[in-house]
Amino acid sequence: MSRRCELTGKGPMSGNNVSHANNRSKRRFLPNLVDVTLASDATGRAYKLRISAAALRSVDHRGGLDSFLAKAKDVELSTRALAIKKEIAKAAA
């Protein structure tokens, strides 16, 4: 299971641990991923996704999964999220 958000594409970043003596060692900054079940109004189904906490706040801010996916860029979405987006668009039409 990759450490990547399915809705925003946010993944691990790299950087340095810097000691008091200014010694540097490599480290990874991992995204805060959460397993969430989000409901779609258009399809009437619930979808289990692994998304970051920031993406969860964005989904709430935009008014739900349907409106978030409608505005989301296809490049950022995972293959599962793209399939969900197409299902929602098909059900809404």
Residue 75 pLDDT exceeds 80: yes
Q: pTM score, two decimals?
A: 0.85
SS3 for 39? strand
Whole-angstrom distance, CA of residue 48 vs CA of residue 54: 17
CATH number of this structure's domain 13-92, picked from the four choices 3.30.360.10, 3.30.70.100, 2.30.170.40, 3.20.20.140: 2.30.170.40
What lies within 8 Å, CB to CB, of 12 at 6+ separation is 3, 28, 29, 30, 31
What pLDDT is stored for residue 77 in this prediction? Answer: 94
Whole-angstrom distance, CA of residue 26 vs CA of residue 37: 34
Using a 10 angstrom Cβ sphere, with 0-12 exposed, 13-18 middle and 19 or more buried, the burial of residue 41 is: middle
Condensed to tens digits (0 to 9), the pLDDT of residues 23-52 reads 999 999 999 999 999 999 999 999 999 999
